[in-house]
Chains A and B, each alone.
Chain A
Amino acid sequence: MLCHEFEDQLTDYLDGALEVQANRQFAEHAMRCPVCHDLLSEVKNTLLACSASEAPIAGTDLEARILLKTMPETALNCSDFETYLTDYLDGFLMAPLYHRWERHAALCAGCSELPGAVVRTIGACYTYKQNELTVPAGLEARILQSTIGNVLPREVRAPLKSRLVEWLRGTLDPIVSPQLASVATMLLVSVFVLTNTVSTDGSVGGIYHASLQLAERTAGSASSSALPNEVKQLANDLMRSEENSGNANDANHNQNTSNQNNAAQGTKNSAPQNKPKGGSSEQKNR
């Protein structure tokens, strides 16, 4: 094989397109001829270098430009871009809007600098905050004068009484909690109920006695001679019915009627029989 023939077949050889016979001759020539051997090596290396090299990374605006040309309706306008700026910085933008926002930032000459400027402004505000103004001379004294009326507060001592009250308040505060308040209310109510309704012997049946005796006393003090008899009659009737039944119904009824109510009820029941007196005693009882 001659050198010019070698050069002619070089591309076919590299593509693996030569016949078996031609391929062997090509290889033999490459082994024999140092010039052609070097040429083959050089071409191989060049091809390798070409395949290894990549195109420079496309600018971020390439995709934006393509989408702007192909789907202009998805592009954000400057006003919307500004509207979503803080959401973008806060990371609140959803993916589709986020990408539209970034595409606008990449393409719009008027807007591309804005996000950076806003971030630097926030930073400037923060720096400003860190450099607080000093308090003007005399301001604290003015404040003290206008509140406690003295620029030497150490001279203002609390009166003993208020200090004591405040100390007690501070000490008792953790104890008197809202949970305990409800317990205290229940205790109060139960004391009130027991001291007013339970009979001297503590039995439920005796409650009638206690109530009726009270009714009798109050009615008696109403200076009516007829009423005590009526009340006694009522008491006897009730006692009899209690003895007969002696059941829970009576007990319920007992609990529902306070001693005051019994007295009033007694007089009310008697009213149809003795109207004028009943009326006056009712008023007095009340």
Chain B
Amino acid sequence: MGAANSLATNEGAELVRRCRTGDGAAWEEIVQTYTRRIYNLAYRFTSRADTAEDLTQEVFIRVYRSLEQYNPKQGDLQNWLMRLARNLVIDDYRKRQRAPQDEAADDLEDHQYHLRAAGGTVQREMERRELGVQVQAGIDKLSPDLRTCVILRDIEELSYQEIVDLLKIPEGTVKSRINRGRIELAKILRRMRIVEA
């Protein structure tokens, strides 16, 4: 990897400035820093590695074309970039919901999960990996509206207001979807014996 998880505000602004001049190395650093995060976001919505990859690529193409619009005074690069990414991923998700394809979340098992080297035995890592697979499988069973809200709130950890702004729906609706989504997910995971009663 070699890249940090996020960049300081001034670092991000400097990278964008260099990108605007056509500096390939600066763009590479942005790609290396944020690919993993955006890929994971895309994967949570798509549950398919290939679709998530395509979507991640699309996000970066859009980001690259929009670099001129980035204004460091309005927030750091990560917030701007993730906001753009979430908008695109959710748009794509909604589109796919309208025209559903015969995609089953069948490649969940094939996934390589990042194994943390520090702290934790192999057994524990296996359990964590398993948990990740099962949580994703549980999320996949939720209806699209509930799923979107649960991912944004409990995995992306956005505030209610950020979700309102992103989805452009009233706060009451956001709250009730999060509530309903959590309950549904808890019941699903309980049935799967992930979350014991």
Chain A residues packing against B (C-beta within 8 Å): 82-83, 85-87, 113-114, 116-118, 120-122, 124-129, 131-136, 139-140, 142-144, 146-148, 150, 152-159, 162-163, 165-166, 169-170
Chain B nearest CB: distance from A12 CB in Å?
59
Across-interface contacts of B31 in A (CB, < 8 A): 140, 143-144, 147
Q: Is the CB of A86 within 8 A of B56?
A: no
Known A-B contacts A127-B131, A170-B17; A136 and B49 likewise in contact (beta carbons under 8 Å) = yes
**Can you show 21 pairs from A to B with CB atoms below 8 A apart?**
A86-B178, A117-B189, A118-B183, A120-B196, A128-B136, A128-B155, A129-B157, A131-B113, A131-B116, A131-B132, A132-B36, A133-B39, A136-B39, A143-B35, A147-B64, A148-B24, A154-B24, A157-B24, A158-B23, A159-B21, A166-B20
Partner of A82, one of B39, B61, B183: B183
Does B158 make an interface contact (CB < 8 A)?
no
How many angstroms from the CA of A278 to the CA of B49 in the assembled complex? 83
Contacts of B197 in A (CB 8 A): 113, 116-117
Q: Which residues of A contact B150 (CB under 8 A)?
A: 125
Q: Which of A117, A128, A163 contacts B190 (CB 8 A)?
A: A117
Other A-B pairs, 7, CB within 8 Å; known A128-B132, A147-B31: A85-B182, A114-B186, A133-B40, A133-B43, A133-B112, A143-B57, A163-B21
Partner of B28, one of A128, A136, A154: A154
Contact between chains at B24 and A153 (CB < 8 Å): yes
Smallest CB separation, A108 vs chain B (Å)? 14
Contacts of A124 in B (CB 8 A): 131, 135, 189, 194-195
| B86 interface residue (CB < 8 Å to A) | no
Output the residue of B22, B176, B180, B186 with the most chain A CB within 10 A. B186
Interface Cβ pair total, 8 Å cutoff: 160
Inter-chain contacts of B24 with A (CB < 8 A) = 144, 148, 150, 152-157
Q: Does any Cβ of A come within 8 Å of B11's Cβ?
A: no
Residues on A with beta carbons closer than 8 Å to the beta carbon of B64: 147-148
Q: A162 contacts B21, CB within 8 Å?
A: yes
User: B182 and A86: CB pair below 8 A?
Assistant: yes
**Prevailing SS type, chain A contact patch:** helix
Distance from B26 Cβ to chain A, minimum over Cβ atoms (Å): 8
List residues of chain B with CB within 8 A of the CB of A129: 155-157
A154 CA / B31 CA spacing, docked (Å): 13
Residue among A83, A146, A158, A163 making CB contact with B176, cutoff 8 Å? A83
Contact A133 B25 (CB under 8 A): no
Q: Are B32 and A131 in contact (CB under 8 A)?
A: no
Q: How far is the CB of B153 from chain A (nearest CB, A)?
A: 9
Which residue of A has the minimal Cβ distance to B176? A83
- Check B128 against A127 for contact (C-beta < 8 Å): yes
Check A133/B190 contact, CB under 8 A, given A127-B131, A127-B132: no
Q: Assess whether B195 is in contact with A144, with CB atoms less than 8 Å apart.
A: no
Check if B80 is an interface residue, CB within 8 A of chain A: no
The contact of A148 among B27, B43, B113, B128, by CB within 8 Å, is: B27
Task: Give CA–CA (A154, B25) in the complex, Å.
Answer: 5
Docked Cα-Cα span, A158 to B156, in Å, equals 35
Q: Which residue of A lies closest to B20 (CB)?
A: A166
Of chain B, the residue at the smallest CB distance from A124 is: B135
Q: Once bound together, how far apart are the Cα atoms of A87 and B35, in whole Å?
A: 35
Residue B94 interfacial (CB < 8 Å): no
Instruction: Note all chain A residues with C-beta closer than 8 A to B113.
Output: 131, 133-134
- On whether the beta carbons of B190 and A142 are closer than 8 Å, the reply is no
Chain B residues in 8 Å Cβ range of A122: 154, 182
CA distance in complex: A155, B129 (Å): 39
Q: Which residues of A contact B39 (CB under 8 A)?
A: 133, 135-136, 139
